Amino acid sequence: MTEIKGLNKNATRMLTGFILGTIAMSCILYGGLALLLLVLVFVFFASKEYVKILENKGFYPSLKLIFLAEVFLAAIAYFQRFDLVALALTVCSIGAFMWVLFKGRQPYIANVATTILGFVYAGWFPLHLLFLRDLSCPQFDSGLGFVVMLFIAVLLTDIGCYYAGRHLGKHKLAPVVSPNKTIEGSIGGAICAVIGTLVIGTYLGLEWYMSLIYGLLCTIFAQIGDLSESLIKRDAGVKDSGDTLPGHGGFLDRTDSFIFTIPVMYYFCKYFIFTDQTVIDIINLFRGLF
């Protein structure tokens, strides 16, 4: 990891985190084009890091195709053209095969697969932040409060995991993938996240049990996202995804906890918080079965 001249590692990490957090929260508050640009910046750097990591493994996904697919998907997300999502994913996936067919190199199958994974993992999943921000219903004017709650839950997960793992950690959580993470740290992160969502949920007017579920989902998928990125790096023999962010490594290192959490929380909010029709449909389904 790079450091800012004159500052130690922790100070560098805190300063970088503060600057990134301020920029991200400002874009989230403004929404619209500002949020789109924020996501595109992340997508661009994350995709470059992803491709670089895979090259260490001997795979060669197409960065150009990945980024073109992500721009296509970003336009769909920005204009809320959900009817074009299936078309976009189909066209982009076929494009990955065509790229390997006419221009690619060995290993062909891995290059196709990692190209498709690239625009889904580093592009399509984070773009759900636009969907979540724009949710609305009679009870909630927008999804802004839920985006803020998500970010705080993930932040508290990281803090809780770090301190609980440091002081109480004894049992390894995933020793092969990430030997420094512990079960005690994971539990500590989950407790912090749930407390945070219960507090914020009260201000949003959300039922306590929905805030509890929100917090649990956030912390579970934040930790899964973190471990998943560690899995990719370890398999490729890479320590950090990059050195773009002083004190943090790369963009993927800093945001891996959000990649799975954002789409999961969007669908949870869409189908269980911003509408009660899903719950009614589930109840009717069980009534029909029994």
- Residues forming a β-bridge with 160: none
Considering only CA atoms, which of 154, 107, 182, 165 is closest in space to residue 257?
154
pLDDT at 247: 63
Per-chain mean pLDDT for the chain: 89
How far apart CA 151 and CA 266 sit, in angstroms, is 13
Highest mean pLDDT among 84-88, 178-182, 278-282: 84-88
134-178 residue pLDDT tens: 998 888 888 999 999 999 999 999 999 999 999 898 899 988 888
Residue 6 falls in which region: left (phi positive, over 0), alpha (psi -120 to 50) or beta: left
**pLDDT band at residue 268, thresholds of 50, 70 and 90?**
very high
**Predicted confidence (pLDDT) per residue in 5-49, tens digit:** 555 566 677 787 788 889 999 999 999 999 999 999 999 999 999
Tell me if 156 sits within 8 A of 196, measured CB to CB.
yes
C-alpha closest to that of 99 among 61, 56, 71: 61
> What's this model's pTM, rounded to 2 decimal places?
0.90
Check residue 152 and give its pLDDT.
95
Residue whose C-alpha is closest to residue 62's, from 85, 28, 92, 23: 92
User: Residue 61 contacts by C-beta under 8 Å, 6 or more apart in sequence?
Assistant: 50, 51, 54, 111, 114, 115, 117, 118
Q: Is the pLDDT of residue 78 over 80?
A: yes
In the predicted model, is pLDDT for residue 57 greater than 80? yes
**pLDDT at residue 8 in the model:** 57
DSSP for residue 124 = I
Strand partners, 9: none
The pLDDT tens digits of the residues spanning 89-124 come to 999 999 999 998 888 678 899 999 999 999 999 999
Tokens 């719950």 correspond to 279
Residue 2 has pLDDT above 70, yes or no: no
